[in-house]
């Protein structure tokens, strides 16, 4: 009788469990005890992917290309003798597909600000694997600690507009676990809101005085000016 097979071990020998599209991964599947030959079958979500026969104690190697989201998920392998109907299953390995981030968008509810005002900046990448880490800059200077978002939500910072130098160009940078894929946002500038000048109330006051003088003069014509004119005739 064939010796009892041990549960095979499924090991990743090439690639990582966090994968990018078109990445190759290689599995090794081996039962360390049992009779030979052994048939090894690789399954993805309980569907057969590939099978190999081994007549020695070398592992079965399965190489796959992760080309779409349907290629990620849970993989297992099964070891069995050709003559038997039973078999032993391995541990499972789970792949996660890492998508590159899209260019983040930097925005604010207000584009006009005046000195002494609090303003908000928010930064969001619409696409890309979570979590995403954001950094905010003014010019080339980092103005915030890293903000790591576990959900598809904008990272936000609050600024106090204190001087004209705070009206510089702001940017944010986003990155995730996708290799070498940091992206910068558009530049964002606050414009200085026109403060009402002090001369405006003065002009309004002068205008009103002038208007009152004109009205006063118009009212004076029938009562004072005409009688005076008639009296002088």
**Would you list the domain boundaries of the chain?**
8-97, 105-192
CATH number of 8-97: 2.60.40.10
Report the half-sphere exposure of 220 (CA within 13 A, side-chain side): 10
User: pLDDT class for 34, splitting at 50, 70, 90?
Assistant: confident
Strand pairing class (169-175; 93-97): unpaired
Query: Can the peptide bond before residue 131 be classed as cis, meaning omega within 30 degrees of 0?
Result: yes
Average per-residue pLDDT in the chain?
89
- pTM assigned to the model: 0.62
Here the tokens at position 116 are 């002494």
27-31, 53-57, 200-204 — most confident range: 27-31
Residue 3 burial by CB count (10 A; 0-12/13-18/19+): exposed, middle or buried? Answer: exposed
Closest CA to 70 of 52, 102, 92, 47: 47
Topology alike, domains 8-97 and 105-192? yes
Q: Does domain 105-192 have CATH number 2.60.40.10?
A: yes
114-124: per-residue pLDDT in tens?
Answer: 888 999 999 99
């Amino acid at each position: 009788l064939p010796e009892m097979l041990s549960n095979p071990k499924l090991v990743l020998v090439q690639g990582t469990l966090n994968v990018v599209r078109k990445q190759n991964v290689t599995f090794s599947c081996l039962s360390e005890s049992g009779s030979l030959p052994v048939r090894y079958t690789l399954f993805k979500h309980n569907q057969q992917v590939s099978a190999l026969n081994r007549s020695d104690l070398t592992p079965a190697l399965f190489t796959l290309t992760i080309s779409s989201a349907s290629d990620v998920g849970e993989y297992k392998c099964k070891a069995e003798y050709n003559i038997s109907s039973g078999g032993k299953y391995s541990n499972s390995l789970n792949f996660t597909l890492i998508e590159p981030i899209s260019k983040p968008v930097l925005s604010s509810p207000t584009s006009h600000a005046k000195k002494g005002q609090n303003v908000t900046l928010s930064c969001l990448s619409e696409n890309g694997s979570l979590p995403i880490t954001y950094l905010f800059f003014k010019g080339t200077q980092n103005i915030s600690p890293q903000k790591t978002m576990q959900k598809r939500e904008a990272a936000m910072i609050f600024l106090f507009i204190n001087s004209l130098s705070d009206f510089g160009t702001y940017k944010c940078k986003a990155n995730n676990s996708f290799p070498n894929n940091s992206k910068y946002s558009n530049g964002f500038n606050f414009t200085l809101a026109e403060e009402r000048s002090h001369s405006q109330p003065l002009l309004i006051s002068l205008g009103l005085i002038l208007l009152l003088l004109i009205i006063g003069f118009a009212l004076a014509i029938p009562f004072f000016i005409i009688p005076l004119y008639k009296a002088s005739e």
